[in-house]
Structure formats: structure tokens, C-alpha cells
Structure 1
């Protein structure tokens, strides 16, 4: 069936309203701008709160240095000539299935201050890939990255690594590390996610920050703020953020305007980008939403999704 020109025009106008993104001026004090309002209604910007600023770089270290042998002592015999040489060995040993050799190479590169090696080593201990799982060591490696590189330039490869470390720390502060000094601390989780979201513009940080606002964890519950941060992550292609933001627009309420067509559009985009093995809930939300939508809304939403694809391809 043909789509009403009025519906398309209104929907496209709303879509156009959300294309503007906040900007960060790195040459001045790094106080993030609040996210822009979501489309469909004029929402007041949040009041500036003292905790809304990024984590002060003068606050001190987040955690002690990693307790692994490479963090404190030089290896008895340097098996590598440089961190780059060690990373080559890590790739070689990983491909060959020699996890012990791969971890040894990573520890050498990490001890030399190689940022990517430190982050990869944190991930290795978090997942137990070739070593016994050790969340405390993972936490301390991520902390080392955050402590020493918090002012890294956003958008660079190193900046993305540091942002990911802040996001990982946020997750550890939410749940704590059982049997260690790292206790659940929602306030610190907020700090970690907020810094990654605001200073680095990291979509994982923005999504996790939005969830804190949505659930009232570590901060007063504020669905409108949650929608703003969720929108920013959704615009960067973050599939879970697209699904949650779409669901929020589909349902409306709690200060968030109801916009069924836009909500269906974001759910359609989320469904396309979802990892069905790990994010089956996105598929379920998409299926349920489209099953309950009118034929006209479904058609209009899919048309908008196609237009969104066209915009992305032209960038």
C-alpha cells in the first residue's frame, strides 16, 4: 500500500532532528555537553549536577597496579627485543594454540607500557583465555590503563582502548569482584560509564550509562536522560541501544514521547545488526513489536530504515 506523504514527511522530519550530535571541545576543560533531546517533544535539558562532570583526573588511582609478575619485575631473560616483537610472538603463538607462550608475550609487551597489550591481557584474565580466570587481575590491568591514559585523544585507536577500559571498569564496579577489595559500587560504576560516554563518546559507555539512568542505579532514575544517551549510542550503530531506544519510543511514557513508527524503525535496524547467538532478546523484541504493529506503521518504519541505510552509505 502507498504510504501517506504526510506520515513520511513527519517521520523524516523527526529523523532529521536526531541527526545532530553533541561536540566536545578538547582544547578547553573537558566538561561534557548534555545529550540532545530525543525527537517528538521538547524535553528540558537536565540541570547541571556536580557529578555530571567526567571523572576528575586528579582523583587518584582507581586501583593498585596489576599483581602479575610482569607488572612488578622484569622477566629473568628478556625473550623479546621489543614490545612489537612480543606482539608478533603473541599472534604467532595464539595462532599455533600455544596459549602459555601467547600470555608470556603479552605480559612482556604490557610491562613495556604497550597499551593494546595491557588491554588484551586484561581481557585474557577476564575470559580465562589460556590462563585461569582472574577478574581481580583483569580489573587491575584495566585500572592501570584508565589511571595512566584518561586524557587520551578521543577517536584515536588508543582513545578507543582507554574508553573500553573505562567501560570494563564500570561493569566490575557494578558487580564487584567476589572475595577481593573490589566491592559493588554503583556510584563508581556511574563515574566510569559517564567518563567513557561523555569524554570519549564511546557507544558502549553511552548504552551502559543509559541503563543506569533507566534503572536508577548509581544515579536518580531519569528515563528522559536514559533515552538521550541511548539515542546517541543507537546513532552509532549500537544494536542493543537501538533495540532499547526503539522500545522506549514504541511504548512512550515516563516523559518519553510515544513515536511508534520511529520506534519500529530503530527495532528494525537493531534486528539487522544483532548477534543472534548472544542477543536473541533483540530478535524477540523485534518480532513482538512488528507482530503487534499496524500494516501502515510497519511499512513506514521499514521505509525509514531504508532511508537510514542510504544516509549511512553516503557518509
Structure 2
């Protein structure tokens, strides 16, 4: 598969997972023992929505053992977040590795493509930071490869944003702000709020690239408009900082550009 070499450190994990027989279905679940992975996943989704995380986990585990990509992804997220199960980054890593190894070449336009891409992003972040208690060492090169696959093949905005941050900050590589701006632009146009703000910051302050203050403030204003409680504080702080260095005219032009962009997105 396309990413087999990229996930080399996780191959034993993935192979072991794939080689296991399908999980026995929990007898307390209202599914036949020979239930399809699709039926098991649907049951898991219903149980999860009802708040029964433990039973949902069992149903997802059964579907995942039969190769259901979205079930594998959901298990990975549950392990990563400690959602209905004890938090375990290594087991999350296993799930995301299985997806990357088995679904790297899936059609990027299918309903499951988004979760496959997200699995690549999560796996890349694990390689970027490492998992100290599981012997997974930081490997920026492998993280870069996984982010790149998700960003290019799947066109994933989170992957594009994470790639941009690596190139912008020089995390384990030579900084390349020009390449970072390209990736930020792609993600920003997909309404990735953090990418919009980061792109605006680079263009306003000219961090390694030619400053484009009006366009930069446009992206900051768009990000401010799209901000969520999770990122609003730092985006507002960035907006304040940008206003300290821009002229009133530049702010006015940037604000008008932002309004036009938002209007086009809504039409």
C-alpha cells in the first residue's frame, strides 16, 4: 500500500490487529453473532448517541475487527480521548495505524474518506510528538509524510494546516515560509479557521514572505468571523496585534475584502 513504508514502526501493531479473528460479539448486544460490520457499526452509533459508551465500544470493536474503517477511527478517538474507555494513546495509535495501512488508497470522494484522512492526521501527530510510555519515538519525517498524504491525496484541511505549521516553524526541518503559505492558503479557502488566522498573521507581519497587509488582514477578519469558543481568544488577540501595525486604510480595505469573501461563501 502507498503508506506501508511510512507506517513502518506501526506495521507489527497493524499486522497483529489485522491478523486477529473477528471479535466475538458481546451477547448483551441486540445483534446476531454473524452480524455484518455495517450493522455492528450502526448499532454502536445508536448506543453511543444514547450515552451507553461501553456497549457502543463493544459494537465498534466488533465492526473494527472486520475492517470497518469508520469503526476503527471511532475506537481510536475513544482511546485517545478516554471516552467510555480508559485513555490509551498507544491503542489509539494502533487503530489509526490500521486505517493508514489498510485504507491509504481508498477513493477520496467516499463517505469514509474524511475519517481516513483524520486517522492520518492523528497518526502523524503521534509520530510528531512520540508516545514515551509505548516506545514510539518522535519522527518528524514520518509525520511529514503522513500529513502530506492526507493533505494531497485526501485534500484534508487539518493536514494542510499541520503541514504548514511544520514548514513555518521549522519543526525538525528547514523553515520554508513560502511553502507554508501555500498550504495555509489551501486550508483557509476550505474555511479552516486556524489556517485563516495563521495565514493572515504571516501576510500582515511578513514572516519570511513579502507582506500583503490588506490581504493578511482580510484573513484575520474572516477568522474572527468564523472563530469558535476554542480559538476565539487567540484570534482576537491576533486581530488586536495586527491593528497596532496597520494603517486605518489597510484595515478598511482588509475588512471590505473579508466581507466580500464571506458573502461569496454564503451564496
Alignment TM-score > 0.5, same fold = yes
| Matching residue of 1:265 | 218
2:167 corresponds to: 213
Bigger RCO (CA 8 Å, 6+ sep) = 1
- Please state how far the C-alpha of 1:67 moved relative to its aligned partner: 9.7
- Deviation of 1:273 after TM superposition, in Å, equals 1.5
Q: Answer yes or no: is the 8 Å Cα contact 1:239–1:274 preserved in 2.
A: yes
What SS class does the counterpart of residue 194 from structure 1 fall into?
helix
- Offset at 1:285? 0.6
The question of whether the paired residues in 1 share the 8 Å contact of 2:57 and 2:84 is answered with yes
**SS of alignment partner, residue 304 of structure 1:** helix
Q: Where do 1:1-315 residues align within 5 Å?
A: 56-57=2-3, 59=5, 61-62=7-8, 63=10, 64-65=12-13, 72-77=20-25, 79=27, 80=31, 81-254=35-208, 256-314=209-267
SS of the residue corresponding to residue 114 of structure 2 reads helix
SS of match in other structure, 1:266: helix
Aligned length: 259
Answer whether contact 2:157 2:186 (CA < 8 A) is retained.
yes
**Structure 1 residue runs without a partner (length 5+):** 1-54
CA distance in 1, matches of 2:104, 2:21: 25
| 3-state SS, counterpart of residue 156 of structure 1 | coil
**In 1, Cα distance between equivalents of 2:84 and 2:254:** 46
Deviations 1:10-63, CA, capped at 9 Å, x for gaps: xxxxxxxxxxxxxxxxxxxxxxxxxxxxxxxxxxxxxxxxxxxxx944527541
Q: 2-side partners of 1:129 and 1:307: how far apart?
A: 41
Q: Secondary structure at the match of 1:94?
A: helix
After superposition, the CA RMSD in angstroms is 2.3
Greater share of residues in helix: 2
1:232 is displaced (CA, Å) by 1.1
Cα distance in 2 for residues equivalent to 1:211 and 1:303: 28
Alpha-carbon offset, residue 219 of structure 1? 2.5
- Equivalent residues of 2:221, 2:239 under 8 A apart: yes
SS at match of 1:59: coil
Distance 1:149 1:238 in 2: 24
Give 5+ residue unaligned stretches, structure 2: none
**What TM-score do you get using the length of structure 1 for normalisation?**
0.76
Q: Is the contact between residue 68 and residue 137 of structure 1 (CA under 8 Å) also seen in structure 2?
A: no
1:295, 1:281 → 2: CA distance? 22
